[in-house]
Amino acid sequence: MFYLILSIIFSVLLLTNFRLYPKYNISTFQAIAFNYPICFLTGLALMPKEQSFELNFAENWTFYALILGVGFIITFLLSGYSTQRMGMTATSLANNISLVIPVLCSLLIFKTQGRAFDELNYLGLALALGAVALSTFKKSDEKVSGKGFDFLLPVAVFLMYGVTNTSINYLNINFIKSADRTVPVTLVMVLGAIIAGLVVLAIRVIRGQEKIEMRNVLASITLGVPNFLSFYFLILALTAYGNSGAFVYPLYNIGVILVSALVAFIFFKEKLTTLNKIGLLLAILAIGLISWQDIAGLFN
């Protein structure tokens, strides 16, 4: 549970960065593109002394990890387009409800619950989906420019987030057999994201869509460190719970939502609607049901 809590904390730090960027006129795209080299350096600093980074294409997971890194950038770009054309509400819901994909794959395909799920656990999973939808829903007066097939963008966001999270679980099950392999494998994924991100950035600069500024590079530091650590501790949490995506991902998603709501209320004075409050209460109930065995174990 310790690794899961750390992953949630660092994920909220990521969101806090994004919340502050407009205030300081930071380019979100540039910060994301430059944050991946920072992620890489953070991973190197965490690598055990007896290990070293190498890109070994003789191992069958290397290409898989690189492609997964590219998937991170694709998911980000889709989120950006979906937000612009279909609005923040639809995109946020698509992102958060995508947890159903890794959960179902963990239960039905990977069959790695890591524990025997009972009726209360399954009820918690169902409540988690409702909690995510209610707690992230925002009425929006924003005008969106969606037309034609743009309505498919939130669907693409839903699928890409679900596929990337499921792929992380698959990679962890098959190629990260012990915690000491977490950093090397993660660094290969980050390398894929670095290549894809810098290529897209270079294209945008050449087209005149972006102008690189030092404040965006500096902002990537406060983004890159928690980005790597959130991902790193999420993988360790999956390993600790027998790669049970059905257990970890719902707790991770609703944990991020709960802590984010608290931070937003305290530091940014954001108000919650009645539906949001119901969703947060439902999230607490869902956490209790999904992890009731762990909670009961604390008193035994």
DSSP string of 142-201? ------TTTTHHHHHHHHHHHHHHHHHHHHHHHH--SGGGHHHHHHHHHHHHHHHHHHHH
Give the distance from CA 205 to its chain's centroid. Answer: 27
Say what the pLDDT of residue 179 is.
Answer: 66
Average the pLDDT over 102-129 and give the result. Answer: 80
pLDDT more than 70, % of the chain: 90
pLDDT more than 90, % of the chain: 27
- The model's pLDDT over 184-210, given as tens digits with 9 standing for 90+, comes to 888 999 999 999 999 989 999 999 988
Average the pLDDT over 267-294 and give the result. Answer: 85
* Range with the largest mean pLDDT of 36-40, 235-239, 251-255: 36-40
The contacts of residue 205 (CB under 8 Å, 6+ apart) are 211, 212
Q: Residues 19, 264: contact at Cβ < 8 Å?
A: yes
Say what the pLDDT of residue 115 is.
Answer: 62
Q: Which residues of 73-92 are buried (b: 16+ CB within 10 A; e: fewer)?
A: bbbbbbbbebbebbbbbbbb
Say what the pLDDT of residue 233 is.
Answer: 94
- The model's pLDDT over 56-105, given as tens digits with 9 standing for 90+, comes to 888 878 888 899 999 988 887 788 677 667 765 567 677 778 888 888 88
Whether the predicted pLDDT of 220 surpasses 90 = yes
The CA distance from 48 to 107, in Å, is 33
Query: pTM surpassing 0.85?
Result: no
Question: Which has the higher per-residue pLDDT, 270 or 164?
Answer: 164
- The model's pLDDT over 128-154, given as tens digits with 9 standing for 90+, comes to 888 887 877 766 555 555 666 777 888
Q: Give me the phi and psi of 113, to 5 degrees please.
A: -60, -25
- The model's pLDDT over 7-35, given as tens digits with 9 standing for 90+, comes to 999 998 988 888 888 889 999 889 989 99
Whether the predicted pLDDT of 38 surpasses 90 = yes
